[in-house]
Amino acid sequence: MVICQLLLNRSPLLEDLSTEALAALRVPPAMRGQWGKDLYGLHRAVAALGRADPPPSGA
């Protein structure tokens, strides 16, 4: 589900996964619970690569 939501960014390129794009993925109610945890992990990985700011705490 998280990967499908990432494709809504309309780009398969890692460099297009900005902090803003990742934050927008947190808005839909479907991205809560386990999917929210998956998104948090993915956001941390993208941040570790220097492509985004770290995710908010407790996200």
Q: What is the pLDDT of residue 53?
A: 95
The one-letter code for the residue type at 24 is A
| Alpha-carbon gap, residue 26 to 41, rounded angstroms | 13
Is 90 exceeded by the pLDDT of residue 48?
Answer: yes
Sequence-distant (≥ 6) Cβ neighbours of residue 31 within 8 angstroms: 2, 5, 25, 39
**Model confidence, pTM:** 0.74
Report DSSP state, residue 12: -
| Alpha-carbon gap, residue 36 to 59, rounded angstroms | 7
Rounded average pLDDT over 21-31: 82
Binned at pLDDT 50, 70 and 90, residue 55 comes out as very high
Q: What is the pLDDT of residue 4?
A: 64
Q: What is the pLDDT of residue 56?
A: 87
